[in-house]
Amino acid sequence: MSDEQGLFAFHDVVVERQGIRALNGFSARIEGLGVTGLSGPSGSGKSTLLRLCNRLEVPTSGQVLFRGDDVAGLDPLTLRRQVGMVFQKPTPFPGSVRDNLLAAAPDAGMDELEQALLRASLDGSWLDRDATTLSGGEAQRVCMARTLAMEPEVLLLDEPTSALDQAAVEIFEQAVSELVKAGLAAIWVSHDTVQLRRVADVVLRIDDGRYAGTDRIEHGSPAEEV
């Protein structure tokens, strides 16, 4: 990765849908070291920004760069396998947990499947469970394991714990923390600033579709505004 180019860079990005601007000239850079938090009020454009990173959304104007390359010029399917995403609402596919993991990595062997589960704080005993009967927290970790099964370089997290109870939130946060320690870059969208101070190393603030500043988090001390 080029340190100068950062992981993602946004140049004057506008996203307009049905006449409403979700992003309104957003420019910023995400270094991609540890966990980058994206914070802002509801409707400020956080999730839209995240969806630009794996091209589930494209800008109306402006440019999004991934490691210095314009994502518009990259193969979207390859990009999405490099930049995995966990959504706000757990979306287990019908079938077993194994079926879900194989949807992401059809050629994966038993070891790879178990490894993906372990990285999401689950274990091999989950493989034969029906993915559609899991609790919210369990389903979300299965979805994370599914994303990890394709060995992404970056993990996009779109309010992944907003529907989980406190115990499930802690397990999820711990799992992400372990992944980041192992070298994975994560971008975590949340409206919960307390959570972002807990999990993120740096937080980008978005307001009304525009970049509103960056906070570097010194864990154990108050945030430092940049």
Partner 1 sequence: MEGDVSIAGLATSLALVGVAAAISLWQRLGLERRILWAAARALVQLLLVGAALALIIEEGRPLAWSWLWVVAMVAYAGDVARRRAPEVPGVMWLAIAAFSAAAIISLGVLFGFGVLPLEGRTLVPLAGMLVGNSMTATVLVARRLVEELRDKRDEVEARLALGHASQQASTPYLRTALRSAVTPQIETTKATGLVFLPGAMTGLILAGVSPTDAVLVQAVVMFLILGSVTTTAVVMALGLIRRLFTSDHRLRWLPRQAET
Q: Looking at residues 112 to 131 of the shown chain, list those that interact with partner 1 (rule: CB under 8 A).
A: none
Task: Provide the sign of the torsion angle of the four alpha carbons 43, 45, 47, 51, taken in this order.
Answer: positive
Is 150 near partner 1 (CB under 8 A)? Answer: yes
Is 93 near partner 1 (CB under 8 A)? Answer: yes
29: which strand partners?
9
The region of 71-79, 164-172, 186-194, 202-210 touching partner 1 under the rule CB under 8 A is 71-79
Q: 86: closest CA among 184, 155, 7?
A: 155
Taking the CA of residue 155 as centre, how many other CA atoms within 13 Å lie in the half-sphere pointing to its CB?
29
Q: How far is the CB of 223 from partner 1 (least distance, A)?
A: 30
Residue with tokens 């945030």: 223
Q: Count residues contacting partner 1 (CB under 8 A)?
A: 25
73 phi and psi, to 5 degrees? -95, 0
Is 45 near partner 1 (CB under 8 A)? Answer: no
The region of 29-37, 144-152, 161-169, 194-202 touching partner 1 under the rule CB under 8 A is 144-152
Taking the CA of residue 96 as centre, how many other CA atoms within 13 Å lie in the half-sphere pointing to its CB?
10
Q: 40: closest CA among 222, 186, 215, 169?
A: 215
Among 41, 43, 58, 130, binds partner 1 (CB under 8 A): 58
Q: How far is the CB of 79 from partner 1 (least distance, A)?
A: 8
Residues near partner 1 (CB under 8 A) are 17-18, 54-58, 76-78, 80-81, 84-85, 87, 89, 91, 93-94, 103-104, 143, 146-147, 150
